[in-house]
Amino acid sequence: MECQFYDAMRSTQGGRRETWRSPAAGLRRRRVRHVSSTDRYGPDVLAGATDHHRRRPVSRPQPAEPGLVVEDVTTGWVGAVVHVEKSGGLHVVVLEDRHGRTRTFPLGAGFWVDGEPVVLTPPVAGPAPAAPARTASGSRAVAGAEARVARGSRIWVEGKHDAELVEKVWGDDLRIEGVVVEPLDGADNLVAAVRAFAPGPARRVGVLVDHLVPGSKESRIAAEAVRAAPAGTVLVLGHPYVDVWQAVRPERLGLAAWPQVERGVEWKRGVLAALGWPAHDGSAVRSAWARILGSVRTYADLDPALLGRVEELIDFVTA
């Protein structure tokens, strides 16, 4: 592994100094203070009182940043800071010498840096990296991206409410991919719509159908629609709900569960009546849907049975 090097100084016989190089990742030249071997007994005892009683330098705080070259006063070990960690409840600093050997010392006083005594402190923590922005579908947001020119392929959903829900959660992804979502006027018209669209390799159709369960009318229509186009150009998927409203988690509306509606009763009107919401005409239904859609913030507010189907359809039409 290619290493970065730093220069430091160590004392040699006769007080000479030579340069050595270490594999630690230091970035700046540091001088390490040593007492020459010819000065073993400190200052001259005959020196003036002022020199003899000179005040000892005060240690200054020094963050133990990686690469900083320091000397442990007690042992004479010289090395670059590799990292600071906690061991046995105490902060310790790991130093690496010029031979690549490491040694651990208690963080604090007893070190020299640039010929001055220091108290090593933990390195200053930088700001935590910001989490990448996400779209409502959970995808990584692409800042400043423009909508792509629409592909020939399409995603079809059964109605306006389905289209609005898909747009709210997956709209950013669909614009990046250049995929247009179009509402169908019910699943009964699916086969005719497929034949009119004339799917091909560059004109795929992904269809999201309500209440697509085995043996249902919707399952038979889906199978016929796939047969009406070249192989691999149409994919019909569905969710088990009677209506896409049920794909919104009921707790988002303060409900324990979506109400059960008796057979023969229009599902949306039956739900509104059970909830005690206005249900007199189409405007009441629209107001109720606006309230439901407004409760949706991200994919986490939808049932997984819908999430997987929509993601699969997007992958299909963008392949």
Return the number of other C-beta atoms located less than 10 Å from residue 148's C-beta: 12
Given a cut of 70, whether residue 227 has pLDDT beyond it is yes
Which residue range is the domain that position 98 belongs to?
6-121
Rounded Cα distance, 299 and 217, in Å: 29
- Percent of the chain whose pLDDT exceeds 90: 56
Alpha-carbon torsion angle 264, 265, 266, 268, nearest 10: -140
Question: Where does the pLDDT of residue 133 fall: very low under 50, low under 70, confident under 90, or very high at 90 and above?
Answer: confident
Contact criterion met (CB below 8 Å) for 162 and 244: yes
CATH number at residue 234: 3.40.1360.10
Question: Where does the pLDDT of residue 126 fall: very low under 50, low under 70, confident under 90, or very high at 90 and above?
Answer: low
Q: What is the pLDDT of residue 240?
A: 87
Which one-letter DSSP state was computed for residue 240?
Answer: S
Cα–Cα separations (whole angstroms), residue 124 to 27, 42, 82: 17, 36, 15
Helix, strand, or coil (residue 238):
strand
Among the candidates 121, 146, 162, a domain finishes at: 121
**List of residues 6+ apart from 75 with CB closer than 8 A:** none
Q: Domain total for the chain?
A: 2
Q: Does 91 map to a domain?
A: yes
Same domain, 16 and 78: yes
Rounded Cα distance, 249 and 255, in Å: 9
Is residue 196 within a helix (H) or strand (E), and if so which, with residue range?
helix 190-197
Q: Does 126 map to a domain?
A: no
Among the candidates 105, 121, 137, a domain finishes at: 121
φ, ψ of residue 297 to 5 degrees: the values are -110, -50
Same domain, 193 and 306: yes
Contact criterion met (CB below 8 Å) for 253 and 295: yes
Please give the mean pLDDT across all residues of the chain.
82
Q: What is the pLDDT of residue 216?
A: 86
Rounded Cα distance, 165 and 316, in Å: 19
Which single residue is written with the structure tokens 């739900």?
271
Contact criterion met (CB below 8 Å) for 14 and 39: no
Cα–Cα separations (whole angstroms), residue 40 to 15, 48, 139, 155: 11, 19, 68, 86
Same domain, 111 and 184: no
Same domain, 243 and 187: yes
Q: Does 75 map to a domain?
A: yes
Q: Does 271 map to a domain?
A: no
Q: What is the pLDDT of residue 7?
A: 43
Q: Does 239 map to a domain?
A: yes
**Tens digits of residue pLDDT in 230-289:** 999 999 999 889 899 999 999 999 999 999 999 889 999 999 999 999 988 889 999 999
Which single residue is written with the structure tokens 């896409």?
244
In the numeric block, which tokens belong to residue 13?
């016989």
Contact criterion met (CB below 8 Å) for 211 and 159: no
Sheet hosting strand 205-209, strand order edge to edge? 180-183, 154-157, 205-209, 234-238
- How much is the pTM? 0.58
Alpha-carbon torsion angle 227, 228, 230, 231, nearest 10: -20
Q: What is the pLDDT of residue 282?
A: 87
Q: Does 262 map to a domain?
A: no
